[in-house]
Every structure is written in structure tokens, then in C-alpha cells.
Chains A and B, each alone.
Chain A
């Protein structure tokens, strides 16, 4: 199958996934007890005012009709209007997605910077003190919850030492790099903990492979062997794992955004779920799905590019 055919097939699969997801999320959010109108009116809710507000928000139409309106909107690229905020959901996405993407990309870069040297070193110095330390580091970061780590970072580096801002995001690119360092580091550490173990195991496996033994026997410089022959092969499984993690990170940014008060998709999603803002929950879920699917597609293509043995 050629590359174009492969991509077309994948896009078709994605469309089916989105359709199923749209149905699922639409009905699931409505199953949770709680009504947006009653939530908004609070203790002053009366049957009259609730009815008035539900009508105003279009919630008194039957569920199938609401679904039809939602789907016809999605097809046209209109994700509806937020119930709580009265702004088009697409506007919210446009404003909030860049923050989340910046955070996730930043976290991934930091994770890579941490993972590669640690994973390779641990493998090359197997069972030494350095290796033990790196494996311990891995276990530690895997077992601690990210929100706890985040709060700790804020207290130590933000408040105590005043090195970084106490939450919020910046305006310019340089400001963003500064403001988002702590949250990106928190996410990056969690990811690198898993990836380091994976890379270490992959490098170890590759070190004993035939082609590496031959390269060493031929007298090639150690460093060249490691980077060209070992790493390039070992990195495949790590890249796959990284790709899977991006999907997880995009969705999991919710916690980090809340702790660090970042105006990203995650924190907006939390408010929307708590306030039963159906339109935002539906719209954002679809956006997440698109993002994650695209990332997986690129990961698979990258996989094929790195490893010439693999055809799509």
C-alpha cells in the first residue's frame, strides 16, 4: 500500500471514530445528574425562571433535536455556543488551544532533553551507581501524583525562592517560555520517568544485537556506534511511546492547568463539566479527538521514516 493510500485510509478511520465519539459524548454528559439552568440559577431557581432560562438556552428542545443541531453544526465547522459564557465554542478553542499546545510541546521537549541522556547513560553503565540512581529517579517520578509535584514546584520555586511566577501565562513568546517552565517541567518529569526506563531497556537490547557487535569489531569509534547504530534503532519504541504520551498529555493537561492557573483547554474543560456546559464539553472533546488522532497519524509516519524496514 502506498503512502497516500495509507493516509487516506487512516483519515477514513478517524472520521468514523469522531462520529462515534460525538454520539457518545453528547449522550454521556447528559446522563450526569445536574442541569445547566438549575446550576446557573442556584438557590433562586423557581419552576418559572428555570423554564425561562432553559428555553432561552435551547435546552427545552428534545434531545434528538439538540443532537441534530449539534451534528449539523459540527459538519459546518460550528461547535455551538457555550451555555455558560455565551461565546462560540470555536472562539474558546482558538483562544485556549495555543496555551495547551505550547505547554504540551514544551513538556515534550523537556522530557526528551531529560530522557535521552539519562536513558542512554543508564544502559551504557548498567548496574553501576549511576544506573541505580537513574532508575530510582524513574520510580520516584512515576509514583508521585503530578498535582502534588506541581504544587510543590510552585511553593518552592515560585513563592519561597521567587524564581518563577505564581501561576498564569505570559503574553509574548519569551514570557511564555518563562511562565510555563514550571508546569512544563512537572509534566515533562512525569513523562520522562516512563520513557527513561523504556529507552534504557531498548538500548540494552540493541547493544547486544549482531550489527552492533560487528561495528565494534570493525573498530568504529564507540560514540559513533552508540549514536548511529544503537540509538537510532533503540529510539523506535521510545518514539512510539512518546507519541502515545502526547495524546495522554493533551488530555491530562487539565490537572496541571488548574494547579498553575493556566488559561488552556484543560482548565476550561473542568469549568465546563462542573457547570454542565454541554456545548463546550462536546466541542472540546471533539477537538481533543482530532488532535490526538493527528498526533498518532504523525507518530506512525515518523515511525516508518525512522525504520526503513517498516512500510505503512
Chain B
């Protein structure tokens, strides 16, 4: 493609992303939903264990930090595109290697200092050198300050997901003095630019967040977000206790309500039940190098034998959506035409043609002890696999011991594991599932598939990229790579009727700053 055309496409692509982003935002925010002020109390099974985004992969930690700190860009409310955050606008060079960001005027840290290019450079140098998300900036050649309010990021080679990576909370911007002072240690009171500031954090007990009075984003009433004065996050390990406390009005809301409780709660006028789609998929992990999974026909049969609608009804009270791909449904480039059908007749036929024509027994399906959903999925799978002659034993194992066994690839199959996107781009997900068995499944993708993944990571033309990911999904479904996808689960939240405007993004971020209490 000629350079001018490429520049045009890249700019158009970036522009389209921004426009789509803006439209989604304005759709989500119609008017002020309630009154200003007040305290929202929220219950978590485990409150954030860490507040430094470089050192945690826990969804609870990262989504909470997203209320405290921000990066140059952030995922839009529908997590389908990236929108401006600390960068007001950006341009991309013709070859797609240089991104130049203009910082937002008037954005300030919680300590009152304005955000400058030096802070951006210091923060990104830190997240490039340290932590469990180092990989996100591995392709960056240089971080350059052009002036106090302009930063240029130069890549070694095109990275289609670079904006999505910059939107990850691990690339949030902190004051350069804080970055210099913290060194290799972890922030315990992170000073970000977000709508809330850390007031008090008592590990395993509660986290108190106060409103940031100088937040840059304006609400529809002309004053800045957030509407609330304070958010208190309390640790309540028992699900039943959470629900009872909400119904008594002692708490305003909680997530992770067990699916089995949902039908009863829906009827109850003492609370409101809100579900939000998540970029999340539950699956069975299978060790492809061990019998009976070492024959692709067996794997295909095991997938065909599963009636995912039954899983959805029994394990999630009908709230989830049957999966058709290893990629989550609300995710970018999910292939609506990919399929994981239910066909037990064909499954039996495939078994007859496989290495184990008379079936197989002795395979052990493990699940982390205490995981209700793992247990439900395992029992259903055992039933359905039994119908096609594959006998399975279920074993509950201590969660930590199971992780260690999974890490060493010494397991047959595991139930109860799920993937939640931390980034609104399929790049990371696809690396984990398809390439270089990062899922420790022993799956060996074809050279063609590996090449597709690599090309898709670098392809800047959105349509071409989309087609590549569609093809990757079809290949994975055909091979039945190391996982058998089951269903996509939503986030189930239970709140008092006085809470208005609450929203959780598909990446799991609770948008506390657009939440208000009723007048």
C-alpha cells in the first residue's frame, strides 16, 4: 500500500475509533441521574489487595484503581474503542510507528500538581521496566518529550493494539516525583488524576475513596464528576451476608451475587438487580498431550457433546450466553459466525473414528475447591461426556495447588477457570489461547495460525485485522485448541433502589463517578 494511503487509513481508523468512542459516551450519559453528594457503600468478597497497577492482575484491584488513576487514553464505556483521557487528542504517523499525544489542559493530580510530559514519561518508563505488564510496552522504542504538553511514543514495528495497551490501568500516569520515590516498591496510596482519591485503606477490611474536587471531566450539569462525595468499599466474604445487608439498607451494593440467588432477588422489591455483559468466558482447560485429548477427533467430539444451553440454564440460572468462540462476545473482533455446535450423534461418530473407538475412562477433571461454578460445570460435563463413552472422574483440589499443577501442565482437564479481558483488544487474549501454549495446554497451533496471530497484531487496517481474527477463531474451533469454551457470563450486581446511574463496563470497571444517590 502506498504511504499516503496508509496514512489516510490510519488517521481515518483513529478518527473512527474516537468518533465511535464519543458517540458511545454520549449515549451512556443523558442527564444527572440523582442528587449530588452522599456516600455509596459497596461490598466486595475481597477488597483490593493492592493499589499499584503494575503488580496485580486481580480484576478487583485493577477495576478499583481505574477510579483513582488514569492513562493517556481509556476504554470507552462499551469497551469497543479507546477515548481520550489525559491526552486530549493524538496523531499517528504515516508508517504507524509514531504516536504523538497532546496532553489535556487543566488535568491535575490529586495533590494539585498539573500533569506534564515529564510525568507521562516517568510513569511509562516505570511500567515498561517493572511489573507484570511489562510486555504491554515491549515494542516501544522511545518515549520522547516534545514539549511540556506533548509526548511522542515511537514503536519498533506497528502494534495495532498500542492504544488499547496504553488504556490499560498499568500504564496510568502518576507524578514523576512519586515514581522516583517509590522505586521498586508498590504504591499504597496512589496519587492519580482519577475521579476518586484514596482516603484510607485498611487491608482486608475497607477502602475509603473521597471525591476528587478537581476532576477534569464535566458532568451534564456543568460541574465536574463525580456526583458522590465518598465511596466506601467493605470486605464481606459471605454472599448471603452481602444480600441481607443490602436488603436491610446497611449497604448500597455488591457484585458477584451467586447466579442461584438471582431468580429470587429479581422478584424482591427491596433491591434492584442489574446485569452487565462482560468480556469474560468460562471454559474447560484440556491437556492436549494427554489421553484422550491427544486425538483431535476426540477433542472435537468432546466439544460437540456439550449442550451449552443446558450449562447456561443449570450453572448460571439462564443469565450467561452460550459460547461460540474462545473470544468473549462483547469483545472486539468476536466472530458472530463462529460456531461450537451441540451434536452428540456426530460426536459418537467421531469417537468411533478416533484412537479410542470404544471410549475412554480414567480421565480426571479437577476444579478448585470452593468453586460452585466449577463444580456445576464439571458435573454437567461428566454427564454429557459419559453419553459419548468418555468416563470422567471429578476431583476438587485446593485452588493454589491446582494453579501450580496447571502451571506445570500436569493435569488432564480443569473446570471452573475463566478468562476476563484486561485490555479492550484481542491481542493479549489470542497470544494466551493460541500461540506458544501460554495456557499450558500443550496445544500446538499450525504455522499458518501463528503467522496469522503475528500479522493481526501488526495490521493497522481494521477490516483486514478483523478478517484475520475471524479466521483465527475458526481455526481454533476446528482444532479445538487447549480449551473448550462454555459460556459468556455477565456481571450481576445487586443494589438498593436509591442508587441511580450505576454502570459496569465490559472490562469490569465500576463507573462510580457517574453513579448518584436518588434525590
Q: Chain A: residues with CB nearer than 8 A to chain B?
A: 32-35, 38-46, 48-50, 52-53, 56, 82, 84-87, 92, 95, 159, 166-168, 258, 261, 263, 267-268, 271, 274-276
Could you show 10 A-B contacts with beta carbons less than 8 Å apart?
Answer: A35-B400, A39-B400, A39-B404, A40-B57, A41-B57, A43-B406, A52-B131, A95-B202, A263-B235, A276-B400
Contacts of A38 in B (CB 8 A): 400, 403-404, 407
- By beta carbon, the residue of chain B nearest A83 is B49
One of B110-118, B238-246, B382-390 at the interface? B238-246
- A48-B241 contact given A34-B401, A42-B403, A85-B203, CB 8 Å threshold: no
Contacts of A56 in B (CB 8 A): 55, 130-131, 184
Q: Is the CB of A85 within 8 A of B135?
A: no
- By beta carbon, the residue of chain A nearest B206 is A263
A50 to B408, CA, bound (A): 13
In B15-74, the 8 Å CB interface with A consists of 49-50, 55-58
- A42-B57 contact given A261-B236, A261-B237, CB 8 Å threshold: yes
Is the CB of B352 closer than 8 A to any CB of chain A?
A: no
Q: Is the CB of A86 within 8 A of B186?
A: yes
In B219-254, the 8 Å CB interface with A consists of 235-238, 240-241, 244-245
Contacts of B178 in A (CB 8 A): none
**Contacting residue for B401 out of A33, A41, A49, A263, CB 8 A:** A33
Q: Is the CB of B57 within 8 A of A52?
A: no
Is the CB of B461 closer than 8 A to any CB of chain A?
A: no
Q: Is the CB of B134 within 8 A of A52?
A: yes
**Contacting residue for A34 out of B49, B400, B417, CB 8 A:** B400
A213 to B134, CA, bound (A): 84
Q: What is the distance, in angstroms, from B265's C-beta to the closest C-beta of chain A?
A: 16
Q: Is the CB of A263 within 8 A of B417?
A: no
**Contacting residue for A261 out of B56, B238, B398, B419, CB 8 A:** B238
Q: What is the distance, in angstroms, from B156's C-beta to the closest C-beta of chain A?
A: 18
Is the CB of B182 closer than 8 A to any CB of chain A?
A: no
- A43-B400 contact given A86-B50, A263-B204, A268-B204, CB 8 Å threshold: no
Q: Is the CB of A159 within 8 A of B438?
A: no
- By beta carbon, the residue of chain A nearest B244 is A166
Size range of the interface on B? 35 or more
Q: Is the CB of B205 within 8 A of A263?
A: yes
Count the A-B residue pairs with Cβ separation under 8 angstroms: how many? 99
Q: What is the distance, in angstroms, from B417's C-beta to the closest C-beta of chain A?
A: 6
A120 to B478, CA, bound (A): 77
**Contacting residue for A86 out of B130, B203, B236, B418, CB 8 A:** B203
Q: Is the CB of A271 within 8 A of B432?
A: no
Q: What is the distance, in angstroms, from B281's C-beta to the closest C-beta of chain A?
A: 11
Q: Is the CB of B55 within 8 A of A39?
A: no
Is the CB of B256 closer than 8 A to any CB of chain A?
A: no
Is the CB of B405 closer than 8 A to any CB of chain A?
A: yes
Contacts of A268 in B (CB 8 A): 204
Q: Is the CB of B132 within 8 A of A53?
A: yes
In B401-430, the 8 Å CB interface with A consists of 401, 403-407, 417-419, 422
**Contacting residue for B49 out of A84, A167, A261, CB 8 A:** A84
**Contacting residue for A39 out of B236, B399, B418, B438, CB 8 A:** B399
Contacts of B55 in A (CB 8 A): 53, 56
Contacts of A168 in B (CB 8 A): 236, 241
Known: A38-B407, A49-B132, A87-B203. 10 other contacts (CB 8 A): A33-B404, A34-B401, A41-B57, A44-B57, A52-B134, A95-B205, A263-B204, A263-B205, A274-B399, A276-B400
Contacts of A39 in B (CB 8 A): 399-400, 403-404
A34 to B408, CA, bound (A): 11
A268 to B419, CA, bound (A): 27
Q: Is the CB of B405 within 8 A of A33?
A: yes
Contacts of A45 in B (CB 8 A): 403, 407
Task: Please provide the 9 A-B residue pairs with the shortest distance between their CB atoms, ordered closest to farther.
Answer: A34-B400, A85-B203, A49-B132, A33-B401, A39-B400, A34-B401, A34-B404, A167-B241, A87-B203
Contacts of B404 in A (CB 8 A): 33-35, 38-39
Q: Is the CB of B57 within 8 A of A85?
A: no
Is the CB of B188 closer than 8 A to any CB of chain A?
A: yes
Is the CB of B439 closer than 8 A to any CB of chain A?
A: yes
Q: Is the CB of B398 within 8 A of A34?
A: yes
A46 to B407, CA, bound (A): 8
A49 to B236, CA, bound (A): 30
Q: What is the distance, in angstroms, from A155's C-beta to the closest C-beta of chain B?
A: 10
A39 to B368, CA, bound (A): 12
Q: What is the distance, in angstroms, from B238's C-beta to the closest C-beta of chain A?
A: 5
Q: What is the distance, in angstroms, from A55's C-beta to the closest C-beta of chain B?
A: 9
Q: Is the CB of B419 within 8 A of A274?
A: no
**Contacting residue for B56 out of A40, A50, A52, CB 8 A:** A40
Q: What is the distance, in angstroms, from B443's C-beta to the closest C-beta of chain A?
A: 15
A50 to B440, CA, bound (A): 14
Q: What is the distance, in angstroms, from B270's C-beta to the closest C-beta of chain A?
A: 14
A45 to B439, CA, bound (A): 8
Q: What is the distance, in angstroms, from A241's C-beta to the closest C-beta of chain B?
A: 33
**Contacting residue for A85 out of B204, B237, B244, B400, CB 8 A:** B204
Contacts of B400 in A (CB 8 A): 32-35, 38-39, 274-276
Q: What is the distance, in angstroms, from B328's C-beta to the closest C-beta of chain A?
A: 14
Q: Is the CB of A34 within 8 A of B403?
A: yes
- By beta carbon, the residue of chain A nearest B243 is A166
Q: What is the distance, in angstroms, from B198's C-beta to the closest C-beta of chain A?
A: 14
Proximity bits, B123-145, A CB within 8 Å = 1, else 0: 00000001110110000000000
Contacts of A85 in B (CB 8 A): 49, 203-204
Contacts of B244 in A (CB 8 A): 159, 166
Q: What is the distance, in angstroms, from A191's C-beta to the closest C-beta of chain B?
A: 25
Q: What is the distance, in angstroms, from B466's C-beta to the closest C-beta of chain A?
A: 25
- A43-B186 contact given A33-B404, A56-B55, CB 8 Å threshold: no
